Amino acid sequence: MGLIDHPLPLDIFGFNGANTIQPDQSWNDILENQAPLTRLQDLNARVLRYPGGTLGNYWDWRKGWFLSQHDLQIGILLPEKFNPELPINSGTIVFDDKLETFLECLSHSNAKPMWQMNVLTSDFSYQLSTLYAGKTKGVTSEFVELGNEFYLGDSDNRLVFPNVDHYAEKAIDWSSRIKSIPPFTNTKIAALGSENDSDAEPRRRRLWLGRLLENLNGNSDINAITLHHYIAAKFTGINNNISCPASLSSADIKRAFANVIQSSRHLN
């Protein structure tokens, strides 16, 4: 199969929302301070991911914070790095990472939301309410991502998804149910892939992508595969521009996109 060149859509690039859980760094801090709000606007991001990252696997979107331990199923423990108590800001601004606050920030930018659904520690109905909450605010739910990095061998990942087949079954079920609801019929849904050339998690991670694609073969409800290819970057001390280190080669970039191309051949 040959590759087809086509223009990239404007919403091909976006930003992650994972770093908003520290004191003085919530979405409300951005909203209430002109300087960070201006920086958000200057980014001209077309997609913002909420909540973003592993934290999303334990997230309660109504609270704008992590689920309490008593909300988690037996056998799952809230990771120590995710303090169940809300941070306290140093100033007068209230820490607030609720979905409504995120949406208010969104209204000051050109971005669309990418909803990262909590498929590890929540249920379908509660997560579907996220899309309805956005709809009541006039936000079109164009992008949904089904979880984050379950190919890692953490005990919680293994408990809920002993292998990729269990994850694929849930991803297929949730995507089908989302698209059966008229307001969300055209939502673009991504299942969680993995880099298969990593030495980490030699069995689970290496086998994840190929087996996932086998499970999704012919599925029309899942439109994309997410691949987290981490490329080291650093801030320069002069102008805060991000620059890639000299050790990053074109081969690194080609390898990352080769996985993207491989996945796209199996999906709509």
197 vs 216: CA distance, rounded Å: 21
- Looking only at the bridges linking them, the beta strands covering 59-60 and 65-66 are antiparallel
Predicted pLDDT of residue 182: 93
Give SS3 for 174: helix
Predicted pLDDT of residue 101: 94
Predicted pLDDT of residue 140: 81
User: What would the pLDDT profile of 3-50 be if each residue is shown by its tens digit?
Assistant: 667 777 777 778 888 778 888 989 999 999 999 889 888 888 889 999
| DSSP sequence for 3-63 | ----PPPGGG--EE-TT--STT-SHHHHHH-HHHHHHHHHHT-SEEEES-SGGGGGEETTT
Partners of residue 146 on adjacent β-strands:
117
264 vs 268: CA distance, rounded Å: 7
Predicted pLDDT of residue 247: 43
- Those residues of the chain that have pLDDT short of 70 are 1-4, 196-202, 231-268
Predicted pLDDT of residue 227: 87
Global pTM reads 0.83
Domain ranges of the chain: 10-231
* Candidates 3.20.20.80, 1.10.3470.10, 1.10.3720.10, 3.30.360.10; CATH matching 10-231: 3.20.20.80
Structure tokens at 26: 């919530």
124 vs 35: CA distance, rounded Å: 37
